[in-house]
Structure 1
Amino acid sequence: MRLSIIPVTALLLTACAPEPAPVTGSLPFFGDGYRFKGDVCRRLGESDATAEYLDHTADLVGCPEDAENLGVFVIDTSAVEVARQDGYVIYSVPIS
């Protein structure tokens, strides 16, 4: 029973969050996947499109909007959505 409460709570918190600002320009992806090699999410480097979201205390990560486990990714990594562009959700993920 307790496990069913967590996704509902996460959904409600997401619904209350402000809509992230759109990003323009191309996304500078690098690496073979974020967290594990082959993951669909990947780190983002510095560019005009990402400069305002970069932070030395967090990784900037882009995930396809249609990825199956975005909710799990957000919960597991404490990721915060900061923008969307070209079919990707851009997250700031605190470095642990």
Structure 2
Amino acid sequence: MRLILLSGIAALTAACTPPPTGPVTPPATTLPFFGDGYRAEGDQCRRLGESPETANFLDHTADLVGCPEDMENLGVFVTDTGANEVFRQDGYVVYSVPTGI
């Protein structure tokens, strides 16, 4: 009985622990990101350059853009830009976004 009571107290204590604060570290990736946000500075999505992972998807009529899989407004991004998902890697969704050329 004592063990059950102690495990219950431990579970309640863990549930009351505040979430960690501070900057969120993005997942490690080999994707060749560049720039400081896609569409606007500071956006979570960023353009991608050439690498073995992206070479088959680069196109002069579209930007290759990577966004975090858990980005809150991912659906809005897709709708607003006409983005087409091309692959997922390291916690990112990679899109081909038409440039309107």
Tell me, yes or no, whether TM beats 0.5. Answer: yes
Deviations 1:38-71 (A, max 9, x none): 0000000001110001011000000000000000
Q: Find the structure with the greater CA-based Rg.
A: 2
Task: Tell me the residue number matched to 2:57.
Answer: 53
Task: Tell me the residue number matched to 1:28.
Answer: 32
Q: CA deviation at 1:26?
A: 1.4
Task: Tell me the residue number matched to 2:6.
Answer: none
Which ranges of structure 1 fall in alignment gaps of 5 or more residues?
Answer: 1-24
Q: Normalization by structure 1: what TM-score? A: 0.73
Task: Tell me the residue number matched to 1:22.
Answer: none
Greater RCO between the two (CA within 8 Å, min separation 6)? 1
Q: Normalization by structure 2: what TM-score? A: 0.70
Q: CA deviation at 1:30?
A: 0.1
SS at match of 1:82: strand
1:64 to 2:68 alignment: yes
Counterpart Cα distance in 1 of 2:53 and 2:82: 22
Task: Tell me the residue number matched to 1:80.
Answer: 84
Count residues in correspondence: 72
Q: CA deviation at 1:28?
A: 0.1
SS at match of 2:60: coil
Counterpart Cα distance in 2 of 1:92 and 1:26: 18
Which ranges of structure 2 fall in alignment gaps of 5 or more residues?
Answer: 1-28
